[in-house]
Structure 1
Amino acid sequence: MSLICWNYQGLGAPLTGKNLRFLCGKYKPSPVFLMETRVHVRKVDRCRRSLGFQNKVYVEPVGIGGGLALWWREGINLEVILVESNIIHVKVVSGLEPIHGFISFVYGPPTIQNRRTWWRRLRGLNPRDNVPWLCCGDFNDLLYSFEKEGGRTRPLRSFEEFQSFMSSCQLMDLDFKGMRFTWSNNRLEGANVKERLDRALCNGVWRNDCPNAQVQIVVVWALYCEMLRAKW
């Protein structure tokens, strides 16, 4: 079974819809988490129905930006705990065995001034008490300086919020296969900037339950998507 997290960057483009249909046909994922849908949920829901997902939860975009979608199939029981502009937090009741506990699907605020409050909010979702927790999506931030190539060098203190979150919640970064970076500004040569913004984090209990889980960075027709493939 697979889980797809994708910063969709607009459902209105025909090519992105073709990419999503290709990925869903190849990997048979459930759930699917889409970020930056940028269109009204009516259009997102038409896409959901065409791909055969029975369950959903949405966050409407604001203006021409934002928008989240989480889809999952019949037979999977997810209890939706929290829905906000940058987080969809669910409890896995059944159907994703051996996964239990909680999954936080995240899209970090693009602006720096909003991130500190967001990190505190995300830290507050930590279930503790040896309960499995998976946190995945586009964090819009970096853990280390080597996760960026090109552009201005970031000061070391700019990584402290993310690192503090990881440490206080006792999370680990799942290993990944594929391309090193998940975002690019698509400029040429010296103006090109690449960063690793997408990842999956989990606590030790979740890792023990799913020791073979892995993250794959998949490139489809020059578009990036992060896919978490847990082999169970």
Structure 2
Amino acid sequence: MNLLSLNCRGLGNPDAVGGLRNLIRREAPALVFLCETKLSSVEFALVMASFDEYSSVSVDSMGRSGGLAFMWKKDIHVTFRSLFVHFMDFDIRMDDRDWRCLGFYGWLMMTDRHCLGIYYGHSLGESQGPWLCMGDFNEVLFANEMKGGTRAQWQMNNFRDAVDVCELSDLDVEGYAFTFDNGQGRGE
């Protein structure tokens, strides 16, 4: 199964939408989770006009900040559990298998990031089958996952603790080596 999770940093211009369209055509993901669309649901519906093989749902941005969207190929059955400004929670039926998918966009304020462990620890306890969590947590497990910026050791420790409490496993990814890049890299 091919999935795409992307912090798109805004889909408010034709170049960004064209870049997303090209990426989706090239990779042909079954499921797509987008965070930081910076669009209202009405605006995202206009973007979806160029993705006729997908169904979608979105959560409004707050002004020009945030915004979530989830896209899936039309032959996949999706049931929504909850949609919120920081996460989308779905049950998926695909290839005669049932599983749960959580798309997450992390709180920007460090003081609120403990909510990750509280939400997932509670929510995933009610799941019986396999599940997947994807998105942008606005945090890293280890300093070598970053390009540009810094993280205090206690921040990474807290995130690792939340991952452990929720019994999450970090999956290998293909492609770009960094999970965090603020565009002000160290020349790597």
TM tier relative to shorter chain:
0.7 to 0.9
Equivalent pairs, count: 187
Q: CA deviation at 1:136?
A: 0.6
- Matched with 2:111 is 113
- Cα RMSD (Å): 2.2
Q: Report if aligned partners of 2:145, 2:180 keep a CA contact under 8 Å in 1.
A: no
- The alpha-carbon deviation at position 122 of structure 1 amounts to 2.5
Aligned counterpart in structure 2 of residue 124 of structure 1, from 111, 122, 125 = 122
Map of 2:75 onto structure 1: 75
- Name stretches of at least 5 consecutive residues in structure 1 with no aligned partner: 195-232
What does the per-residue CA deviation read over 1:122-148, in whole Å, with 9 as the maximum and x for residues that have no partner? 222214675201101111101123223
CA separation in 2, counterparts of 1:99 and 1:140? 31
Cα distance change of structure 1 residues 8 and 130 upon mapping to structure 2, 3 Å threshold: same
Structure 2: unaligned runs, 5 residues or longer: none
Conserved 8 A contact 2:148-2:183: no
Residues 170 and 183 of structure 1: is their aligned pair in 2 closer, same or farther, counting only changes over 3 Å? closer
Could you tell me how far apart the structure 2 residues matched to 1:132 and 1:163 are?
A: 21
The CA distance in 2 between the partners of 1:142 and 1:183, in whole Å, is: 7
Cα distance in structure 1, aligned partners of 2:74 and 2:91: 16
TM-score of the pair, normalised by structure 1? 0.72
Contact kept, 8 Å, 2:81 with 2:91, in 1: the verdict is: yes
Instruction: Tell me the secondary structure at the aligned position of residue 113 of structure 2.
Output: helix
- Residue identity matched to 1:145: A
In 2, the alpha carbon distance for the partners of 1:98 and 1:27 equals: 23
Q: Which amino acid aligns with 2:118?
A: R
Picking from 98, 101, 117, the partner of 1:100 is 98
Distance 1:60 1:36 in 2: 10
Quick one: higher RCO (CA 8 Å, sep 6+), 1 or 2?
A: 1
Q: 1:165-184 alignment to 2 at 5 Å?
A: 165-184=162-181
Identity %: 28
**3-state SS of the aligned residue for 1:103?**
strand
SS in structure 2 of the partner of residue 141 of structure 1: coil
Stretches of 4+ aligned residues off by more than 3 angstroms: 127-130, 149-152
| Partner secondary structure for residue 61 of structure 2 | coil
State the AA in 2 paired with 1:62: M
Asked whether the 8 Å contact 1:52–1:73 carries over to 2, the reply is no
The residue number in structure 1 matching 2:35 is: 35
Structure 2 residue aligned with 1:135? 133
